Structure 1
Amino acid sequence: MININRLKSKKIKFSLRHSVTKFLFSLLMALLISIFPDYIGLSKDASLMLFILCFSAFLWMSEAIPAFAVSFLIIVLEIFLLSYHDFNFDSNSKEWIFYLKSWSSPLIFLFLSGFILAIAASKTKLDLWLAKSVLFYFGKAPHNILTGVMLITFVFSMFISNTATTAMMMTILIPMIKSMEDHNPFQKGMLLGVVVAANIGGMGTIIGTPPNAIAVGILGNSAPSFLEWMVMALPPAILIAIIFRWVILKMYKSTEELIDIDKIKRVNHYDDSTTTFTKIPTIPSWKKILVIFVFSITVLLWLTGPFHHIPTPVVSLLPIVIFTIFGIIDTNDINEIRWDVIILIIGGLSLGAGVTKTGLDVWIGTIFDIGGLNPFLIATIFALIVILISNFMSNTAATNIMLPLVVALVSSLGSSMVEFMVISIALCASCAMILPVSTPPNAIAYSSGKLNSKDFLLIGVVAVVVGPLFILSLLSFYA
């Protein structure tokens, strides 16, 4: 027992030293890039903001501290370095309030509403019931089952986190997979279909994935509405999903003509943190009806915003208020919301606001002359970069790093081009899936034991090629 404790202690000390080393390295690199050089035309505030930008980027990439902790650090540094010049706290400066405004951003309530809707659907079993009901309409042929699985996963991921959606679909698929022949390649095909659809489906709405929300926050008043985002993002997402369906059917052909889908009738519920079966109390019918009604009304109001002119974040308050008042969402559910993701988004918004306020964006746009370059080439380069780094770190953190830089570089090209760049790069962040740990859906599917690393390499390479191609091509019509 003593030896085990010693080993644990050594492991903790090594991990701590490793984290401290990465933290100090990130700090040193940020200082070398931003403070020590004497840049021409760079104001003191902009220089400090460049330090904050570089420091946060290195911390996110090195994972020296948790990603959400970097967001807190960004805001603290902005307040102390930019709000109180020379640390003069007697100046009665109110600039610090500016850097806290991201906490009250309407966008946060929109994303919070998405979490609330997901929890309500899960607690009342509506997500599982709907998925099972719809899947039966596709029949027992393998290609039809894959279509159904990908379609259900895709649609759910537009409104529910891809993690919860993947956990739910895994619960449905495991009984089917166990009933298949042991060496049937289609077992892998179905799992990969869920992974792809969960990752790509989030592109479809503002609340589908954090990078989308960050893009909307960066664009500010020029950001597209809920419906406008869907009009732009859904076509490339659907085309990418169709290409993946074709690839999966070619690479993982079923050795059985029919698949037994009757097994899913026995599926009762799931635990989205462990993807295992759990027993929960019977849900009263009125709660199910209320969730269906509120969910439908909320989505309908989001989609019809141009007609009734109710702001999307205001509509988002509807499920938050109703579900909490009627006890569908309780204290435990509130505690389980992914607050770390919300804090990460807040950090990104504050970072972008600081870059603009200090004039760092103007300076970056000045020193890098991109006037002679093709804007679509620039977008392609940044899209590939964000996909690359998103494979090794959170795509939310990767988007937080990239989008302020993109806005700074292309601000001189006009608002329509800025919007094209920002939205394209945010969507491309969802195409990072080359490793088993690249995204939560990848990790969940990999934990089934049915997939190998090379399976993710295949879909990852396809995503790198097909994703930017369709996204940039189709969004160019709006530039």
Structure 2
Amino acid sequence: MKQQSKLIIKDLKSKIKDSVKHSVFKFIFSLLAAYFIAFIPNYSYLSYDASLMLFILLIAAFLWMTEAIPAFAVSFLIIALEILLLGYHNFDFDSSNKEWVYYLKAWSNPLIFLFMAGFIMAIAASKTKLDLWLAKRVLFYFGNKPNNILTGLMLITFILSMFISNTATTAMMMTLLIPMLKNMNKDNPFQKGILLGIVIAANIGGMGTIIGTPPNAIAVGILGDNAPSFVEWMIIALPPAVLLTIIFRWLILKKYKSNEDTIDIEKVKRVSHFDDSTSTFTKVPTIPSWKKSLVIIVFTITVSLWLTGPLHHIPTPVVSLFPIVVFTVFGIINTDDIKEINWDVIILIIGGLSLGAGVAKTGLDTWIGTQFSIDGLDLFLIASIFTFIVILVSNFMSNTAATNIILPLVVALVSSMGDSIVSYMVISVALCASCAMILPVSTPPNAIAFSSGKLNSKDFILIGLVAGLLGPILILLLLSIYI
């Protein structure tokens, strides 16, 4: 037994050592590649500060692509390099120099509070089981016919993903699906159809609002004063998202047709909480009715204020403070809940905003724009190239990181074409980042569904190809109507 334990420990140490070696190699490669591209060629009309910013942009891109260090750590590195290399010229740490403060402004960006409100509202809904209650109520309204069940599940997931992270939404929906799947015939292909329907609705539903997914927030941050409001974003993004979901529903029903006329959903009524450690369902802890009522009231007021912004003119980030303050003051959200917020995602967004700010401040965006002649090229073609690039990259890395890399380049290339064109390009790329789902690891919802054991890697290929090819076309065509 001791000998076996020693072998296990030795094997573990060897794996850790190899992992560290690979990470160090990737980091050094990223650093050297960025240095040689940024400084070795003699670029015409590129200022020294812009060269430094190009170096920072490249090292961030390489580190995000190679995953040499955690994605959020890259954001910290971006800000630190901007402060050291651009905030203090020639490392002159003069106490009167306040230029370095510019590169910390992303931390106080109003969007951070907007996204934080989304996380806190999600935790509040989960703690009071309102998300589960809503899902069960809607599901039973649709009945037990396979077609209707799929419609109900995709609708619930789509709506929740607009306001709650797609990861949390998918995890919650899986608690509903587990007893349902167990009551279905093992050879029923509809099992796969339901799981893929949840994945699709979770990924695409996030397109619908600014807080639905990080790429949306990054796009709004980069557009600044020209960014659409909360309700304007919904008017722009919901039509392609809804149309894509409808197309996918039709496709799933064709490919994964149920061999049962009805599906037993009665056990779903008793679903309360699924304990991963014991693989059993446990009873819902008693939740005071006043807490449930408070969460419902705050949710209703917050979303209503977000949707009616043009009427009362209260900025969306200011409205976001309402649920944050109420839930924390009244104890709905406690210290442990605050720790559960996906701070790594928020830090990743901050890194992207800081990267975009540095590119603009140093003039790197102007220089990049002059290096490529896009005069005479069709706007739809230019937009298509970037949207397909972001989908390709997002299939193999975080769509947040991919958006962080690509959006500053997009702005740099089309900044001279007018604010409306910039908005069209930036919003299109951000929305298309949500269409990357060809691999089990492409998105967290994919991974969660794959972990059920009901899906194979090849099952994601069809939905990934349809989303990756059809998604950009629908998004670009429908956005051209509004922008």
Q: Give the residue type in structure 2 aligned to 1:284.
A: P
Aligned position for 2:50: 46
Give the SS at the match of 1:283: coil
Matched, 1:106 2:107: no
Other-structure match for 1:437: 441
Aligned runs of 1:366-445 on 2, under 5 Å? 366-445=370-449
Secondary structure, counterpart of 1:239 in structure 2? helix
TM-score (norm 1): 0.98
Task: Confirm or deny that 1:29 pairs with 2:33.
Answer: yes
Q: Which amino acid aligns with 2:445?
A: P
**Secondary structure of the residue that 2:191 maps to in structure 1?**
helix
Aligned position for 1:333? 337
Distance 2:421 2:475 in 1: 14
Give the Cα–Cα distance (whole angstroms) in 2 for the partners of residues 273 and 463 of structure 1.
Answer: 34
For 1:271-295, what per-residue CA distance to the aligned partner results, in whole angstroms no more than 9, with x for missing partners?
Answer: 6999964445310000000000000
1:176-218: CA deviation from partner (whole Å, max 9, x where unpaired): 1110111000000000000000000000000000000000000
**Structure 1 residues 273 and 217, CA, compared in 2 at 3 Å: closer, same or farther?**
farther
Counterpart in the other structure of 2:19: 15
Instruction: Report percent identity of matched pairs.
Output: 75
Distance in structure 2 (CA, Å) of the matches to 1:270 and 1:126: 15
User: What does residue range 235-384 of structure 1 map to in structure 2 within 5 Å?
Assistant: 235-270=239-274, 277-384=281-388
Structure 2 unmatched ranges of 5 or more: none
> Is contact 1:204-1:234 (8 Å) kept?
yes
Query: Hey, what does 2:10 align to over in structure 1?
Result: 6
Residue equivalent to 1:133: 137
**What is the 5 A alignment of 1:70-109?**
70-90=74-94, 92-109=96-113
The separation in 1 between residues aligned to 2:47 and 2:280, in whole angstroms, is 56
Kindly indicate whether residue 225 of structure 2 is the aligned counterpart of residue 221 of structure 1.
yes
In 2, Cα distance between the equivalents of 1:253 and 1:162?
26
Q: For the residues of structure 2 that align with 1:248 and 1:161, how far apart are their CA atoms?
A: 23
**Match of 2:273, SS?**
coil
Q: How big is the shift at 1:139? A: 1.2
CA contact (8 A) 1:61 1:393 kept: yes
CA distance in structure 1 between the aligned counterparts of 2:220 and 2:282, rounded to whole angstroms: 37
Distance 1:82 1:401, change over 3 A: same
- Structure 1 residue identity aligned to 2:42: D
Q: TM-score, normalising length from structure 2?
A: 0.98
1:182 match: 186
Letter in 1 for 2:224: G
- Number of equivalenced pairs: 479
Residue 92 of structure 1 and its aligned partner are, at CA, apart by 2.6
CA offset at residue 300 of structure 1?
A: 0.2
SS of residue paired to 1:476 = helix
Equivalent position to 1:159, from 151, 160, 163 = 163
- The letter of the residue matching 1:99 is Y
Secondary structure, aligned partner of 1:90: coil
AA aligned opposite 1:425: V
For 2:86 and 2:376, the matched residues in 1 are separated by 34
Answer yes or no: is 1:460 the counterpart of 2:459: no
1:466 CA drift (Å):
1.4
Match of 2:147 among 140, 143, 147: 143
3-state SS in 1 of match to 2:458: helix
Contact 2:272–2:284, Cα closer than 8 Å, also in 1: no
Counterpart in the other structure of 1:210:
214
**Contact 2:103/2:354, CA 8 A, preserved across alignment:** yes
For 1:106 and 1:271, locate their aligned partners in 2 and report how far apart those are by CA, in whole Å.
Answer: 37
Deviations 1:300-323 (A, max 9, x none): 000000000000000000000000
Task: Tell whether the 8 Å contact from 2:30 to 2:63 is kept in structure 1 after alignment.
Answer: yes
Deviation at 1:269, TM superposition (A): 2.4
Say yes or no: does 1:191 pair with 2:225: no
CA contact (8 A) 1:170 1:275 kept: no
Contact 1:74 1:347 in 2 (8 A): yes
Counterpart Cα distance in 1 of 2:283 and 2:254 = 38
Cα gap change, 1:84 to 1:273, in 2 (>3 Å): farther
Q: Give the partner amino acid of 1:56.
A: A
Distance, in Å, in 1 between the alignment partners of 2:342 and 2:69 is 18
The letter for the 2-side match of 1:137 is: Y
One-letter code aligned to 2:228: P
Asked if structure 2 preserves the Cα contact closer than 8 Å seen for 1:207 and 1:213, the reply is yes
Letter in 2 for 1:377: L
Of residues 224, 227, 234, the one that matches 1:230 is 234
Distance in 2 separating the partners of 1:327 and 1:401: 39
Unaligned ranges ≥5, structure 1: none
Give the letter for the 2:196 counterpart.
L
Write out the 4+ residue segments of structure 1 that deviate beyond 3 Å after TM superposition.
270-280
Q: 1:93 deviation in Å?
A: 1.3
Name the SS for the 2:44 alignment partner: coil
- CA deviation after TM superposition for structure 1 residue 429, in Å: 0.2
